[in-house]
Structure 1
Amino acid sequence: MLNLLKNLLGMGPKVDLKELMKNGAQIIDVRTPSEFAGGHLKGAINLPLQTLGNNLSKIKKDKPVITCCASGMRSSAAKRLLKSNGFDAHNGGAWLSLK
């Protein structure tokens, strides 16, 4: 029961994001195009949060997805959206923390 509550609150087991990245996880940056242009992770795909639902076909379902943004708020919402659509999604938080 405790594990279920932790998972529901996003406090489940920690995932090694660096390991996922090393093994080819997709990085989806959900910031605006102008924020993305100001700096981003190499290989990241810019799909702003407000357009993400309409662009799910641009993301491969057979690879893990790490979402990122400026602070972690939008990437958290993106992770929930992706998980509800069957993706293996993880919130990477702020893009700078993934560097």
Structure 2
Amino acid sequence: MFNFNNKIENISVDQIEQELQNGAILIDIRNEDAYRQGHIKGAINIPMKLLPFKIQELDKDKTILVVCYIGGSSVVACKALSKAGFKVKNVVGGMKAFRGNLTVGN
């Protein structure tokens, strides 16, 4: 399904776990160091600068959740992914809003 109006659906950090249980993929677009210092369990690190080169590795049949530091860069990434034909959801507030346990390392 294409998102022709480029309007991005937003979700809260509290909805991430349910989305993942429903088969969504969570990508963390922060830089590698920030990701290693703490990320949401199950997140895949694809730094924003590498997204154009890694986009072909993502599954278009899955919903893609995008998280960044505070929710701004993820909107840009969501628009690019949506334009490329992906179903995407932006995580509002980013990692700053996340209050769960973080995974450290890769």
In structure 1, C-alpha distance between the alignment counterparts of 2:6 and 2:58, rounded to whole Å: 24
- Count of aligned pairs between the two proteins: 91
> Which amino acid letter does the alignment assign opposite residue 97 of structure 1?
F
Aligned-CA RMSD value: 2.3
Shift in Å, 1:37: 0.5
Instruction: Give 5+ residue unaligned stretches, structure 2.
Output: 101-106
For 2:76, the equivalent position in structure 1 comes to 77
Matches within 5 A, 1:79-94: 79-93=78-92, 94=94
In structure 1, C-alpha distance between the alignment counterparts of 2:76 and 2:87, rounded to whole Å: 14
TM-score (norm 1): 0.78
Is 1:30 matched with 2:29?
yes
Instruction: Give 5+ residue unaligned stretches, structure 1.
Output: 1-6
Is 1:51 matched with 2:50?
yes
For 1:4, the equivalent position in structure 2 comes to none
- More relative contact order in 1 or in 2 (CA 8 Å, sep 6+)? 2
% identical aligned pairs:
30
Q: Report the 3-state secondary structure (helix = DSSP H, G, I; strand = E; otherwise coil) of the residue aligned with 2:53.
A: coil
Q: Report the 3-state secondary structure (helix = DSSP H, G, I; strand = E; otherwise coil) of the residue aligned with 2:60.
A: coil
Is 1:97 matched with 2:105?
no
